[in-house]
């Protein structure tokens, strides 16, 4: 089967459905080509070794990758963000019509919805089925992250999304809640499938513990045992980590052995650092973003892993990507995200749950983990690992996608 993967972000940018997915599909006997932009996410600056040009073809582990121009940006400016999305939508549509090889099926991963528009137009002209993978539900996520506040703009984006949904032969989503939301908006339930995201399994499995990790090097007093709760990932407005810092302040009083480690970057980091310093929350340590190759060892050194998103209706139907990585790492999870993500942790027995944006609830959950016996924590983490490999792994997900691709080809009379 000839498959075109169309996505705005692709390796070396962080992307769940990136090169790992492409290689897996290839290894399953398919011809795979990628149409993407010049790497600039998440910093909004073009990566070293690249420059924006008319187009560029490169081979990545035997996968043909066609890069097309876009306006590089990922800051808080709505105008520049829209320009980033629209520029890629236009250039990818043109390239998809004239520069990519003939394909049997198109897989498009959104957001932004401009990727879906581009893919739908290519699908329409080339008469090949489109499978549209929704990672964030638009326009809902635009409001939840504070990027978009215009009711007229919301209505326009909603109509564009509806058109893309109608054009797609099939839609995949990353949680049951998103599926239910789409069905409530009129999408045929038989047209929507839930396929959980996976993680970079090779990096998470790499525990290479001989080298000192940031978790170890951040210890002030090695002789004093600590219970380390690690948050890894982006620290933006959606994560709303003020309540987490307040929970750390509570734990400083009630259980001084607890440390909170915040690993990564994001627009909120400077403000959170200032908050911790001004309030004397010295049991919080900020660690810089690290390459994916180091993440597995860092997760392995923590005692528990924290997921937190602000309490918003959209996030109740969201499973944050770090959930899969945490499960694969085999560590207890503290899930402070209401809805689908909490239900996954409860179903798998992989951790404990807390109310998002509720410092007292988060502090109580930390204490619950901190007083557990080591063997109980180990079993909790192992349950998460088993659940991941049985329900969320790349192998499981890729097989489900191939089944959908073949079904759409059969329904469209193609082979």
Q: How far apart are CA 290 and CA 298, in angstroms?
A: 10
Main-chain phi, psi angles of 173, to 5 degrees: -135, 165
The answer to whether the beta carbons of residues 266 and 173 sit under 8 Å apart is no
Which residues of the chain does CATH 3.40.50.2000 include?
2-198+393-411, 202-390
pLDDT recorded at residue 415: 42
DSSP strand pairing (130-134 vs 333-336): unpaired
For residue 8, give the 3-state DSSP assignment. coil
pLDDT recorded at residue 223: 47
For residue 388, give the 3-state DSSP assignment. helix
Q: How far apart are CA 225 and CA 253, in angstroms?
A: 16
* Burial label, 173 (beta-carbon count in 10 A; 0-12, 13-18, 19+): buried
3-state helix, strand, coil in the chain (%, to 5): 45, 15, 40
The answer to whether the beta carbons of residues 240 and 328 sit under 8 Å apart is no
DSSP state of 213: P
pLDDT recorded at residue 15: 85
> What pTM, to 2 d.p., does this model score?
0.85
| Radius of gyration of the chain measured on its C-alpha atoms | 22
* Burial label, 180 (beta-carbon count in 10 A; 0-12, 13-18, 19+): middle
pLDDT recorded at residue 157: 87
CA nearest 389: which of 300, 302, 327?
A: 327
Q: How far apart are CA 169 and CA 317, in angstroms?
A: 23
Q: How far apart are CA 42 and CA 9, in angstroms?
A: 9
Q: How far apart are CA 26 and CA 341, in angstroms?
A: 31
Q: How far apart are CA 179 and CA 183, in angstroms?
A: 6
* The two structure tokens encoding residue 151: 């009711």
Residue with tokens 């709760």: 229
Quote the Cα angle for 151-137-237, to 5°.
75
Which CATH number, 3.40.50.2000, 3.40.720.10, 3.40.50.720, 3.30.70.1290, labels domain 202-390? 3.40.50.2000
For residue 107, give the 3-state DSSP assignment. strand
Q: How far is CA 217 from the centre of its chain?
A: 28
For residue 230, give the 3-state DSSP assignment. strand
* CA dist 253 → 226, 249, 257, 335 (Å): 14, 7, 10, 22
pLDDT recorded at residue 319: 93
pLDDT recorded at residue 290: 87
pLDDT in tens, the chain (415 residues): 999 999 999 999 988 899 999 999 999 999 999 999 999 988 889 999 999 999 999 999 999 999 999 999 887 787 898 899 999 999 999 999 999 988 999 999 988 999 999 999 999 999 999 999 999 888 777 765 556 666 777 788 889 999 999 999 999 999 999 999 999 999 999 999 999 999 988 888 655 544 444 554 444 444 457 899 999 998 988 899 999 999 999 999 999 999 999 999 888 999 999 999 999 999 999 999 888 778 889 999 999 999 999 988 888 998 998 999 999 999 999 999 999 999 999 999 999 999 999 999 999 999 999 999 999 999 999 999 999 999 999 999 999 999 999 999 886 654 4
Buried (b) or exposed (e) across 2-22, using 16+ Cβ within 10 A?
Answer: ebbbbbbbbbebbbbbbbbbb
CA nearest 101: which of 52, 19, 30?
A: 30
Quote the Cα angle for 400-135-121, to 5°.
85
How is 14-67 classified by DSSP, letter by letter?
Answer: --TTSHHHHHHHHHTT-EEEEEEE---TTTTSPPTT----S-EEEEETTEEEEE
| Second-level CATH architecture of 2-198+393-411 | 3-Layer(aba) Sandwich (3.40)
pLDDT recorded at residue 144: 56
pLDDT recorded at residue 224: 52
């Amino acid at each position: 089967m000839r498959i075109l993967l169309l996505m705005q972000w692709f390796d070396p940018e962080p992307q769940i459905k990136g090169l790992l997915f492409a290689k897996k599909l290839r290894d399953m006997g398919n011809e795979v080509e990628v149409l993407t932009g010049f790497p600039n996410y998440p910093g909004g600056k073009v990566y070293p070794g690249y420059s924006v040009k008319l187009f560029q073809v490169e081979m990545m582990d035997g996968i043909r990758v066609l890069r097309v121009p876009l306006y590089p940006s990922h800051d808080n400016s709505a105008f520049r963000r829209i320009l980033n999305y629209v520029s890629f939508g236009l250039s990818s549509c043109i390239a998809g019509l004239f520069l990519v090889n003939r394909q049997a099926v198109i897989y498009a991963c959104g957001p932004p919805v401009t990727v879906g528009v581009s893919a739908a137009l290519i699908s329409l002209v080339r008469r090949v089925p489109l499978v549209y993978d929704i990672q964030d539900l638009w326009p809902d996520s635009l409001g939840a992250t504070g990027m978009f506040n215009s009711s007229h703009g919301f209505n326009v984006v909603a109509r564009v999304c509806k058109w893309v949904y109608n054009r797609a032969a099939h839609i995949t989503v990353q949680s049951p809640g998103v599926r239910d939301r789409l069905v409530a908006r009129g999408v045929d339930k038989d047209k929507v499938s839930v396929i959980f995201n996976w993680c970079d399994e090779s990096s998470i499995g790499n525990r290479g513990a001989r080298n000192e990790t940031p978790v170890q090097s951040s210890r002030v007093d090695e002789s004093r045992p600590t219970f380390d709760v690690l948050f890894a990932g982006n620290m933006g407005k959606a994560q709303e980590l003020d309540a987490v810092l307040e929970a750390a302040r509570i734990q400083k009083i009630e259980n001084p052995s607890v440390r909170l480690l915040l690993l990564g970057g994001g627009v909120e980091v400077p403000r959170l650092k200032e908050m911790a310093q001004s309030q004397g929350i010295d049991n919080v340590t900020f660690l810089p973003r690290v390459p994916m190759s180091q993440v597995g060892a860092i997760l392995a050194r923590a005692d528990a892993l924290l997921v937190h998103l602000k309490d918003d209706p959209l996030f109740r139907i969201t499973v944050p990507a770090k959930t899969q990585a945490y499960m694969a790492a085999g560590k207890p999870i503290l899930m402070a995200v209401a809805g689908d993500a909490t239900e996954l942790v409860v179903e798998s027995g992989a951790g404990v749950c807390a109310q998002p944006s509720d410092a007292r609830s988060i502090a109580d959950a930390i204490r619950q983990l901190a007083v557990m016996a080591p063997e109980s924590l180990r079993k909790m983490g192992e349950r998460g690992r088993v659940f991941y490999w049985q329900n969320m792994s790349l192998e499981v997900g890729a097989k489900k996608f191939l089944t959908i691709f073949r079904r759409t080809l059969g329904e469209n009379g193609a082979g």
